[in-house]
């Protein structure tokens, strides 16, 4: 990489003791960086809705009040951002009576954050309310403000994805995606759409907001799938 080496500049940290738990190319953070592609949407809760549409037998919409009544679970996860941050904690899968999962999450901007605690509804629970067309293999998550991101349906089931509305035992803050966001811990965090308003079921994979502009269509941090062609 071209560039004058800056004497004494150390860059970011990747401590040896957590080396094996950080996906390749990620750095450790202990705060929760705010990343955003636009201003915070401010949909009032009485206007908020979550919709399952596309290749489903009949679309299903929940209001905020109805969404809150769905069975919820607590998740503690590590997250990784493609911008190379990793905030990390001791992660293990646990099942408490309300189903607790412990995972790591990573952002493509290279940070990984550990021990992040969420309360939310699994996509499995949401899928019980609709009959998805067998031809639907992919999902486009869509959010207030126009953001979209695509995922394989089989990577959203069996507890791999949830719609969270609490973080660290508090209502999810607007700058972190509140009132509700998608959390998909095993992929780069750009797939965990903030301000989510629904899922659209599709037959074929289609690139979302960042996937259509150079980012990897899948985004597995452990395979360092950051950019298309990786």
Partner 1 sequence: METDEGDMNTALMVDGNAVAGQLQQIFGRDMTMAMARCAACAREAEMGALMVFTQAPGVVLRCPACQAVIARIVETPSAIYLEARGAAFLRMAAQP
Partner 2 sequence: MEQPVLQWQAGTVTAIRPETLKTKSFTLALPKWMAHRPGQHYDVRLTAPVTAPDGYQTQRSYSIASAPERMGELELTVERIEDGEVSPYLHDVLVPGDQLEVRGPIGGYFVWEVSLGGPLLLIAGGSGVVPLMAMLRHRAAQHATMPTRMLYSSRTADDVIYRDELDALAASDRTFEVFFSFTRQPPEVFFTFTRQPPTGWTGYRRRIDAAMLGEVIKPFDKRARVYLCGPTLLVEAVANTLVQMELPTEQIRTERFGPSGA
Pick from partner 1, partner 2, none: which does 21 bind, CB < 5 to 8 A by kind? none
C-alpha to C-alpha distances, 153 to 134, 135, 201, nearest whole angstrom: 11, 11, 8
Pick from partner 1, partner 2, none: which does 149 bind, CB < 5 to 8 A by kind? none
Residue with Cβ nearer partner 1 (32 or 68): 32
From 159, 149, 163, select the one nearest 51 (Cα to Cα): 163
Residues 54-83 that bind partner 2 (CB under 8 A): none
Pick from partner 1, partner 2, none: which does 82 bind, CB < 5 to 8 A by kind? partner 1
Pick from partner 1, partner 2, none: which does 135 bind, CB < 5 to 8 A by kind? none
- SS (HEC) of 48-110: CEEEEEECECCCEEEEHHHHHCCCCEEEEEEEECEECEEECCCCCCCCCCCCEEEECEECEEC
From 83, 50, 74, select the one nearest 190 (Cα to Cα): 83
The interface region with partner 2, picked from 7-15, 61-69, 186-194, 209-217 by CB under 8 A, is 7-15
Residue with Cβ nearer partner 2 (11 or 44): 11
The interface region with partner 2, picked from 3-11, 62-70, 170-178, 215-223 by CB under 8 A, is 3-11
Chain centre to alpha carbon of residue 85 = 15
Pick from partner 2, partner 1, none: which does 5 bind, CB < 5 to 8 A by kind? partner 2
Pick from partner 2, partner 1, none: which does 60 bind, CB < 5 to 8 A by kind? none
6 lies in the binding site for partner 2 (CB under 8 A):
yes
Q: Which residues bind partner 1 (CB under 8 A)?
A: 33-40, 82-83, 108-109, 146, 174-175, 190, 210, 212-215, 226-227, 229
Residue with Cβ nearer partner 2 (3 or 134): 3
- List CB contacts of 14: < 8 A, sequence separation 6 or more: 22, 26, 27, 28
Q: Using DSSP, state whether 189 is helix, strand or coil.
A: helix
Residue with Cβ nearer partner 1 (50 or 210): 210
- List CB contacts of 47: < 8 A, sequence separation 6 or more: none
16 lies in the binding site for partner 2 (CB under 8 A):
no
Query: Pattern of binders to partner 2 over 19-38, x per CB under 8 A?
Result: ------x-----x-------
Q: How many CB atoms lie within 10 A of CB 34?
A: 11
Per the omega criterion (within 30 degrees of 0), is the bond before 179 cis?
A: yes
For partner 2, the binding residues (CB under 8 A) are 1, 3-12, 14, 25, 31
């Amino acid at each position: 990489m071209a560039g004058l080496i800056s004497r004494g500049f150390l860059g970011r940290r990747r401590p040896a003791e957590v080396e094996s738990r950080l996906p390749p190319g990620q750095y450790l953070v202990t705060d929760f960086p705010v990343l955003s592609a636009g201003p915070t949407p401010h949909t009032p809760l009485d206007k908020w809705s979550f919709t399952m549409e596309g290749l489903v037998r009949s679309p299903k919409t929940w209001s905020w009040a109805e969404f809150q009544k769905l069975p919820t679970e607590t998740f503690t996860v590590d997250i990784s951002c493609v911008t190379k941050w990793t905030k990390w904690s001791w992660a293990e899968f646990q099942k408490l009576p309300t189903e607790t999962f412990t995972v790591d999450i990573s952002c493509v901007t290279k940070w990984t954050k550990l021990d992040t605690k969420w309360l939310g509804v699994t996509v499995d629970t949401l899928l019980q309310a609709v009959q998805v067309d067998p031809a639907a293999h992919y999902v486009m998550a869509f959010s207030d403000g126009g953001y979209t991101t695509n995922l394989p349906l089989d990577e959203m089931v069996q507890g791999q994805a949830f719609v969270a509305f609490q973080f660290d035992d508090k209502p999810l803050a607007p700058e972190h995606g509140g009132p509700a966001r998608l959390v998909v811990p095993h992929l780069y965090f750009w797939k965990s759409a903030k301000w989510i308003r629904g899922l659209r079921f599709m037959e074929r994979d289609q690139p979302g907001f960042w996937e259509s502009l150079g980012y990897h269509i899948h985004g597995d941090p452990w395979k360092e799938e950051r950019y298309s062609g990786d």
